[in-house]
Structure 1
Amino acid sequence: MSNPWQISSRLRVAVLRAFGAEIGPGVTFRPRTRVKFPWKLHIGAGCWIGEGVWFHNQDDVYIGANAVVSQECFITTGSHRARSDMGLITSPVYIDDGAWVTSRCMVLGGAHIGQSAVVEPLTVVRGDIPPNAVYGRVPGPSVIRERFRGNDVL
């Protein structure tokens, strides 16, 4: 069951800033967001962070201006070596200006989502997604098409 008392976005942003997060003006944080290390979170102006987003940020997460991370996304910057020692490996995540990570995506350390790119729901992102791409998981994670063509919006 969700908490019926919704804490305001402004209060969430203020608390994150108090713990070292860099958050630009006009950012909206919906309820149930989780941030492991606020001082490793950098969000540009005008962003939307959806309900239930989890920043498991053992390394830095950089989100450009006017980007959207939709509900239930998991952004993680850490993993473990595949050897018996299970040593921690971290790598930052970059989500550029105007990008949209749609619902229930998983963004892994080292990912770079280009400007104005869209990631389709339920997609695992690793590596680079070019600017203006629509990236999805069918038939496998790949660029499906360009998001914008000239002045047209797809």
Structure 2
Amino acid sequence: MSNKVIDLSKAPGEAMAWDRPKAVIYLWAAVELIFVTNPWQVSSGLRVAVLRAFGADIGPGVIFRPRTRVKFPWKLSVGDRSWIGEGVWIHNQDLVRIGHDTVVSQETMITTGSHAHRRDMALITKPVVIGNGTWLTARCVVTGGAIIGDSTLVKPMTVVSGEVASGVIYGAPDAEVKGPRF
């Protein structure tokens, strides 16, 4: 029995999600490295200003810690007074909307993209919505299509791939509701 192998040289490319000229994509990659991801750049205000300059919709009082990454700032919305922790990676090939007063803790990854793994590995994207007052604790993974309700707490190391109700504690090891948050 032979297993099918997809020829990745023929897979539709990542540029499908760019929706900006190649020059803007490359410029953003350089600016992100210098001003956003750079651990020596300690100013959250400068990080936020650079993200806004490239189209991110970021409310007042938002804190972006060092070593964060944002794939496409023009596909990012962050509500007032939210905190984005050190090492957070927002791989947003589709829209990511983070509510107000929300915390995304260290090393969490939010990704909107996947691939047509049975067909041709073409890029598939779905938006992510994270509610107001929600706390994604350390090292969570949030995948495309996830909708996390208001005032929800997601426990460390949890993978969120669907809809999570408001006002609950949700988490690993079995990715289920553990009880009310408050």
Q: Is the shorter-chain TM-score for this pair beyond 0.5, marking a shared fold?
A: yes
Tell me the equivalent position of 1:28.
63
Tell me the equivalent position of 2:166.
131
TM-score of the superposed pair, with normalisation by structure 1: 0.92
1:28-63 alpha-carbon deviations (Å, 9 max, x no partner): 000000000000000000000000000000000000
The answer (yes or no) to whether the contact 2:57–2:74 under 8 Å persists in 1 is: yes
1:86 to 111, 116, 121: 121
- Listed as ranges, the gaps of 5+ residues in structure 2 are 1-37
Deviation at 1:83, TM superposition (A): 1.4
**2-side partners of 1:4 and 1:78: how far apart?**
26
Deviation at 1:4, TM superposition (A): 6.5
1:69 aligns with 2:104: yes
1:57 aligns with 2:92: yes
TM-score of the superposed pair, with normalisation by structure 2: 0.78
Hey, which bits of structure 1, 4+ residues long, moved more than 2 A? 3-7
**2-side partners of 1:64 and 1:27: how far apart?**
11
Structure with greater strand percent: 1
- Listed as ranges, the gaps of 5+ residues in structure 1 are 149-154
RMSD: 1.3
Structure with larger Rg: 2
Deviation at 1:7, TM superposition (A): 2.7
Give the residue type in structure 1 aligned to 2:87. G
Percentage of pairs with the same residue = 64
Q: Secondary structure at the match of 2:120?
A: coil
**2-side partners of 1:38 and 1:64: how far apart?**
16
